[in-house]
Structure 1
Amino acid sequence: MTLKVLITPRSFGKGSPAPLEMLKNKGYEIVINPYGRIMTKEEMVSLIQDVDGVIVGVDPLDKEVLQHARKLKVISKYGVGIDNVDTDYAKQMSIPVTVTAGANKEAVADYAFALMLGTARKLAQIDKECKNVNWNKMTTIDMWGKTLGLIGLGNIGKGVAKRAGGFNMNVLAYDLFQDKAYAEANGIHYVPLETLLKESDFISMHLPLNEQTRHIIGSQQFKIMKPTAVIVNTARGGLIDEEALFCALKENQIWGAGIDVFEQEPPHNKELLGLDNIIIGSHCAASTYGAIDEMGMMASANIIEHMAAKAEIIDAD
């Protein structure tokens, strides 16, 4: 019997055919996302009913969808954030959930730093004005020697901290799970969240999304930031209350924001798109050819490994 694998990420295999070839060489039948966008629950339900494995991006894989996945043997996340997957239900159904840990960390760290620098120097706004033949100079803010606050000091946060070293920045961090040895070795100081928000010139989000972290940045947090603060989010939509963000930007409570992820994409509040003090990304921080290739290879390897393990169990029985 031919095993079937559903692939939902639009960028899978975009840089190199190798991830797809890995699966085809195992004789798997491949089903590609036919919509060219993130799928809805209904679309996921229609495609997942008879597949044995799924390589999933940010498409919904909650209980409602998984209840229809009668043959599913493995969920291979194309990335590391699994907030779109009902892991409790998957565990209940003995479906392993794997991630591509570390595959895109350098690409996302690059993008987070690019958003900070681009927002600080108003690169998008200056570009827009120049294309309208307005050559008036804009005065912007510096990054050199400023304080960077990292909300989350995992692999990507550490990557951003390394880049900050080249800008002679003082680095603060907030995280419930503290790597104190790494922080001490790299001159990073763990502080309470309120201290980080008050003292940081640049704030970069690197947390998973869960009930504890949802809207960890809201109206009260914006009120204690510096008026020249820049906040960027390349982690997960939902970490920042978007209505509070809109108000903070519109009222110039902070200097600006660089946001690559939203609770709904495109964002529900379309007024955000009209502000000059925000740079918006299309959830593309990890979208470099190098990161795409690495994530694809790891995601395919995870599918193959767990399919083989399931087959061994069946043979043993």
Structure 2
Amino acid sequence: MRRILITPRSLSQGGHPALRSLETAGFELVMPAPGAIPDEATLIAALPGCVGWLAGVEPVSERVIDAADRLRVISRNGTGVDNLPLDVLEARGIELRRAVGTNARGVAELALTLTLAGLRQIVWTHEGMRRGAWPRRLGREIADARVGVIGLGAIGATFAQLCLDLGARVVGYDPFANADRIVHPNFSRTGLDEAIGGVDAISLHAPLPEDGRPLLTAERIAGLTRGCVVVNTARAGLVDADAMLAALERGQVGTYATDVFEAEPPEAEPLFAHPRVVLTSHIGGFTDASVERSTVRAVENLLEALAVHAH
């Protein structure tokens, strides 16, 4: 029987109705790390004999692909592919498909939640009250606030529209998005530095630069509006962590909220212990509706690709 590897944490315990169509089509489902991110050794052991792979965010090395003796297609249940060795896949002729846009609403809503939490210091206030204090810090309403959006793909554009609907003035940066990506009297396209400087909040929705350097460098962080809220639901490497910690310490940044980490779960580090840092455990696309849309699309992509390869 032809085998398909299932590794997204939201699916690898089985039971999702969309997976049944793979079994109905005659595939055996392989789930080597139920509810967890599989490590390299687990992937190497599980991949031989698999013709398809419904993949999550797990890091995939060249050694892993070397073990994939029959693999024809990798179908991501999301859009990010930073975890995959794209040049190796291309050299091997392994097709890559993505569930583009399916988790945009879930991630955008989390980014908005974190932005609002930062503008109103919700977590800082909550923690103070838990300690028996009565903390009160003047907050900022999002209406008429200036929000910078870095990346205007499906997620960034959805987040920008949510902010516009709440009365914010939004500036967006994306060198690739169509000029008419967002049309609104309170929206304008700018360069990167203009989208970062002079704003009350920044939300990151971009891939990593090809050179691997952060978009929010120490220099750019130093130029932020004092008290700025920075939200990162995209990639941990977009932010210089040491510079961010220093900016929080001196009050340059009011809140740093992140849903993404270099390792999951993350190693303890000083930035994460700062009282004005808000942490969520990569839950941006982890909603019932987003998981459903992503899974259905990823399964459809797998079946379509494998049907093409069968001919």
Please, what TM-score do these two structures have when normalized by structure 1?
0.92
State whether residues 100 and 295 of structure 1, in contact with CA within 8 Å, keep that contact through their aligned partners in structure 2.
Answer: yes
User: What do residues 96-144 of structure 1 show as CA deviations (whole Å, max 9, x unaligned)?
Assistant: 1000011101111100000101112121222223333434433333322
- Specify the code of the residue in structure 1 equivalent to 2:66: Q
User: 2:29 aligns to what SS in structure 1?
Assistant: strand
Higher alpha-carbon deviation: 156-165 or 29-38: 29-38
Higher alpha-carbon deviation: 42-51 or 114-123: 42-51
Q: Kindly tell me: are residues 243 and 311 of structure 1, through their superposed partners in 2, closer, same or farther at Cα, counting changes over 3 Å?
A: same
Match of 1:74 in 2: 73
User: What do residues 21-60 of structure 1 show as CA deviations (whole Å, max 9, x unaligned)?
Assistant: 1111112111114253222222221211221111111112
Cα drift, residue 255 of structure 1: 0.8
Where structure 1 has 5 or more consecutive residues not aligned to the other structure, the ranges are: 313-317
Match of 1:244 in 2: 243
Match of 1:32 in 2: 31
Cα drift, residue 246 of structure 1: 2.0
What is the rounded CA distance, in whole Å, between the counterparts of 1:66 and 1:274 in structure 2?
37
User: 2:19 aligns to what SS in structure 1?
Assistant: helix
What is the rounded CA distance, in whole Å, between the counterparts of 1:14 and 1:107 in structure 2?
22
Match of 1:144 in 2: 143
Higher alpha-carbon deviation: 170-179 or 106-115: 170-179
Match of 2:11 in 1: 12
What is the rounded CA distance, in whole Å, between the counterparts of 1:121 and 1:269 in structure 2?
26
Root-mean-square deviation over aligned CA pairs: 2.0
User: 1:182 aligns to what SS in structure 2?
Assistant: coil
Q: Kindly tell me: are residues 292 and 143 of structure 1, through their superposed partners in 2, closer, same or farther at Cα, counting changes over 3 Å?
A: same
State whether residues 259 and 284 of structure 2, in contact with CA within 8 Å, keep that contact through their aligned partners in structure 1.
Answer: yes
Q: Kindly tell me: are residues 16 and 40 of structure 1, through their superposed partners in 2, closer, same or farther at Cα, counting changes over 3 Å?
A: closer
The reply to whether residue 193 of structure 1 matches residue 195 of structure 2 is no
Match of 1:285 in 2: 284
User: 2:167 aligns to what SS in structure 1?
Assistant: coil
Cα drift, residue 84 of structure 1: 0.7
Cα drift, residue 185 of structure 1: 4.9
What is the rounded CA distance, in whole Å, between the counterparts of 2:53 and 2:80 in structure 1?
15
What is the rounded CA distance, in whole Å, between the counterparts of 2:209 and 2:298 in structure 1?
23
The reply to whether residue 117 of structure 1 matches residue 116 of structure 2 is yes
Q: Kindly tell me: are residues 267 and 220 of structure 1, through their superposed partners in 2, closer, same or farther at Cα, counting changes over 3 Å?
A: farther
Match of 1:302 in 2: 301
Q: How does 1:175-186 map to 2 (within 5 A)?
A: 175-185=174-184
Where structure 2 has 5 or more consecutive residues not aligned to the other structure, the ranges are: none
State whether residues 15 and 289 of structure 1, in contact with CA within 8 Å, keep that contact through their aligned partners in structure 2.
Answer: no
What is the rounded CA distance, in whole Å, between the counterparts of 1:267 and 1:217 in structure 2?
20
Q: Kindly tell me: are residues 253 and 40 of structure 1, through their superposed partners in 2, closer, same or farther at Cα, counting changes over 3 Å?
A: same
Same amino acid, percent of matched pairs: 29
Cα drift, residue 269 of structure 1: 4.9
User: 1:258 aligns to what SS in structure 2?
Assistant: strand
The reply to whether residue 106 of structure 1 matches residue 105 of structure 2 is yes
Cα drift, residue 306 of structure 1: 1.1
Match of 1:58 in 2: 57
The reply to whether residue 170 of structure 1 matches residue 142 of structure 2 is no
State whether residues 144 and 168 of structure 1, in contact with CA within 8 Å, keep that contact through their aligned partners in structure 2.
Answer: yes
Higher alpha-carbon deviation: 35-44 or 106-115: 35-44
Q: Kindly tell me: are residues 140 and 15 of structure 1, through their superposed partners in 2, closer, same or farther at Cα, counting changes over 3 Å?
A: farther
What is the rounded CA distance, in whole Å, between the counterparts of 2:162 and 2:15 in structure 1?
28
Aligned structure 1 segments of 4 or more residues deviating by more than 6 angstroms: 13-16
State whether residues 2 and 49 of structure 2, in contact with CA within 8 Å, keep that contact through their aligned partners in structure 1.
Answer: no
What is the rounded CA distance, in whole Å, between the counterparts of 2:135 and 2:309 in structure 1?
64
User: What do residues 58-115 of structure 1 show as CA deviations (whole Å, max 9, x unaligned)?
Assistant: 1122322101101101101110000111122112111110000111011111000001
